[in-house]
């Protein structure tokens, strides 16, 4: 929604908004764009009456602002429909869908097109560090969009991505998620099938070869050419050595086609890069040029983002909130830091986490960390203690001050603290960095 607000502002509209709790990096982006965000959902924010109200999918009937819009007969629309009608019409849409990696992969696609001189528009669910903002109109036919399967609005229960009508579509992966609106994986697959139905015959679908759930989607019907990536059988493959984990060769249909040397780590990022390179090739960017563009790719805020280093202690911020994402993020950090100690700090905050859907797989996803710290938020109505007890070294805290104090008094130089949440985590990252820099007595060294 913040990105849609930015696009509307760039089109010349006067834009204001409201939210229950706006926090960085999106709140700072809106402020920088001169977009005022009111706190809460008071009808006062809708006076005088706007020409159009764009309603996000987090709002439901009973919300004061929603009820005011309906009672007053104000014109309203969903974010995805507004985007489709006002931005995406007559554009070449390159969409990135899947359970994991959408934000990073979409950012790669946008950056490759940018480095190729194509000046794409984009709408991404995070802030790519190369661009410094999550959305822009662009100056070419190309528009990159992160395509989410979550529902559109309280009055439109289709998945958001059904509005986007991509010409080039990446299907990164597909697992069960969003348990608050989907009863099972089959229900999500049905929405992905509907998405596949919207891709033209002259378009291209790029899918993860190793995802059986995507094979099942395409088996329901596909009218578009398909290229695959990942594994040893995909059309697109990445080949690297362990000693050079931040560079790899790009192979296409059994032949070496390019190379990537970059700052990122992790097997999942190599697969994201393959998808992005395949996607931009369809838009006319040569493979070698795409690989060169990724050399300067800076990743995305809140994706294994190093927030600060105090006394040799590294503090990272990551959006991971699904067991698969947690595991691959930890694996990427392990690849980067070697045998140094990793402390994982997790706030189970997503709707799916709150429903307890992933509780049986959560412990296994955290095995790569030497220590795990859980934060038990008030809205989580099941206990994290059994999961902590299943790990070699883990603790559960329900007070953030106590969690911070534990870290400050137990961490040592060269430790790497990975903080994971899909919310602001009450500004834990900065509070911890401040506490580490002012702590007395000094942080202990391990013998």
Higher pLDDT, 431 or 325: 431
| C-beta of residue 332 within 8 angstroms of C-beta of residue 420 | no
Backbone angles phi, psi at 142, to 5 degrees: -80, 135
Question: How many domains does the chain fold into?
Answer: 3
Same domain, 178 and 86: yes
Are residue 192 and residue 108 in the same domain, yes or no?
Answer: yes
Q: Domain check: are 18 and 112 in the same one?
A: no
Q: CATH number for the domain including 48?
A: 3.40.50.720
Token code pair at residue 117: 């001189």
Which of 294, 314, 343 corresponds to the end of one domain?
A: 294
How many angstroms separate the CA atoms of 261 and 405, rounded?
40
> Among 289, 319, 260, 279, which residue's Cα sits nearest to residue 110?
279
All residues at 6 or more sequence positions from 126 whose CB lies less than 8 Å from its CB, including other chains: 25, 103, 104, 107, 134, 300, 301, 302, 303, 319
Give the pLDDT band of residue 433 (cuts 50, 70, 90): very high
CA dihedral 382, 320, 330, 296 (to 10 degrees): -170
> Cα separation of 257 and 105, whole Å?
20
Please, which pLDDT band fits residue 426 given cuts at 50, 70 and 90?
confident
- Are 131 and 214 in a shared domain? yes
> Does residue 91 fall inside a structural domain?
yes
The tally of CA atoms less than 13 A away on the side-chain side of residue 8 is 23
Examine residue 445 and state whether it is found in any structural domain, yes or no.
Answer: no
pLDDT grade, residue 447 (50/70/90)? very low
Render pLDDT for 235-293 as a digit per residue (tens, 0 to 9): 999 998 665 558 899 999 999 999 999 888 778 889 999 999 999 999 999 999 999 99
pLDDT higher than 70, residue 364: yes
The reply to whether 444 falls in a domain is no
Domain co-membership, 309 together with 239: no
The confidence score (pLDDT) of residue 280 equals 98
Average per-residue pLDDT in the chain? 90
Question: Do 402 and 273 share a structural domain?
Answer: no
> Domain span at residue 240?
81-294
Q: Would you state the pLDDT for residue 407?
A: 94
Question: Highest mean pLDDT: which of 295-299, 359-363, 424-428?
Answer: 295-299
Q: Rounded CA gap, 431 and 427, in Å?
A: 6
418 shares its domain with 361: yes
Rounded distance between C-alpha atoms, residue 231 and residue 271, angstroms = 9
| Digit-coded pLDDT (tens) for 52-92 | 999 999 999 999 999 999 999 999 999 999 999 999 999 99
How many Cα atoms occupy the beta-carbon half-sphere of 122 within 13 Å?
A: 29
Q: Name the band, by pLDDT with cuts 50, 70 and 90, for residue 127.
A: confident
- How far from each other are the two terminal CA atoms of the chain, in whole angstroms? 50
**Which is nearest to 238 in space by CA: 261, 271, 279?**
271
Is position 68 within any domain? yes
Q: In the Cβ-directed half-sphere of 201, how many Cα atoms lie within 13 Å?
A: 0
The one-character DSSP state at 52 is -
Q: Residue 388: CB partners within 8 Å, gap ≥ 6?
A: 372, 374, 394, 395, 396
**385-414 pLDDT, tens digit each:** 998 999 999 999 999 999 999 999 999 999
Q: Extract the tokens encoding 264.
A: 């990122």
- Looking at the domain assignment, is residue 446 inside a domain? no
Neighbouring CB atoms inside 10 A of 133's CB total 18
**Predicted local confidence at residue 379, as pLDDT:** 78
Q: Are residues 317 and 378 in the same domain?
A: yes
Whether residue 358 lies inside any domain: the answer is yes
Helix axes 185-197, 212-219, angle to 10 degrees: 50
Q: For position 358, what pLDDT does the model report?
A: 74
Q: What's residue 242's pLDDT?
A: 62
Q: Is-contact 413 445, C-beta < 8 A?
A: yes
Checking if the pLDDT of 441 tops 80, the result is: no
CATH of the domain at 315: 3.90.190.20
Q: What is the pLDDT of residue 22?
A: 76
Decide if 330 is inside a domain. yes
Query: In which band, very low, low, confident or very high, does the pLDDT at 151 lie, cut at 50, 70 and 90?
Result: very high
Domain boundary among 16, 50, 74: 74
Query: Do both 222 and 96 map to the same domain?
Result: yes
Are residues 265 and 382 part of one domain? no
447 lies in some domain: no
């Amino acid at each position: 929604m913040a990105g849609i607000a930015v696009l509307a502002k760039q089109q010349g509209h006067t834009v204001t908004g409201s939210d229950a709790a706006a926090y960085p990096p999106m709140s700072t982006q809106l402020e920088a764009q001169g977009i005022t965000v009111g706190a809460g959902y008071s009808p006062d924010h809708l006076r005088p009456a706007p020409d159009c109200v764009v309603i996000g999918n987090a709002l439901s009937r009973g919300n004061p602002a929603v009820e005011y819009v309906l009672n007053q007969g104000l014109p309203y629309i969903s974010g995805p429909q507004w985007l489709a009608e006002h931005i995406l019409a007559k554009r070449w849409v390159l969409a990135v869908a899947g359970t994991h990696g959408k934000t990073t992969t979409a950012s790669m696609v946008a950056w490759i097109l940018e480095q190729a001189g194509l000046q794409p528009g984009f709408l991404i669910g995070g802030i790519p560090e190369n661009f410094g903002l999550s959305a822009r109109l662009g100056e070419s036919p190309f528009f990159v969009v992160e395509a989410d399967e979550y529902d559109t609005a309280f009055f439109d229960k289709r998945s958001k991505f059904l509005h986007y009508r991509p010409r080039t579509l990446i299907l990164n992966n597909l697992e069960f998620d969003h348990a608050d609106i989907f009863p099972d994986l089959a229900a999500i697959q049905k929405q992905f099938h509907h998405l596949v139905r919207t891709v033209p015959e002259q378009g291209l679908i790029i899918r993860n070869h190793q995802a059986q759930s995507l094979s099942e989607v395409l088996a329901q019907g596909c009218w578009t050419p398909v290229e695959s990536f990942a594994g040893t059988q995909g059309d697109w493959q990445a080949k690297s050595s362990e000693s050079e984990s931040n560079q790899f060769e790009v192979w296409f249909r059994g032949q070496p086609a390019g190379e990537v040397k970059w700052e990122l780590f992790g097997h999942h990022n190599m697969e994201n890069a393959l998808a992005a390179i395949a996607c931009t090739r369809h838009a006319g960017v040569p493979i070698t040029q795409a690989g060169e563009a990724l050399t300067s790719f800076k990743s995305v805020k809140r994706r294994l983002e190093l927030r600060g280093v105090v006394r040799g202690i590294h503090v990272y911020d990551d959006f991971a909130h699904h067991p698969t994402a947690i595991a691959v993020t930890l694996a990427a950090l392990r690849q980067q830091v070697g045998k140094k100690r990793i402390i994982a700090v997790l706030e189970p905050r997503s709707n799916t986490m709150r429903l307890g859907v992933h509780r049986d797989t959560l412990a296994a996803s955290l095995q790569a960390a030497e220590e795990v710290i859980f934060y038990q938020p008030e809205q989580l109505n099941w206990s994290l203690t059994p999961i902590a007890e299943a790990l070699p070294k883990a603790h559960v805290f329900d007070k953030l001050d106590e969690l911070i104090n534990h870290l400050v008094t137990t961490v040592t130089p060269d430790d790497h603290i990975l903080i994971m949440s899909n919310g602001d985590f009450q500004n834990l990252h900065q509070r911890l960095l401040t506490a580490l820099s002012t702590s007395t007595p000094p942080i202990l060294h391990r013998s």
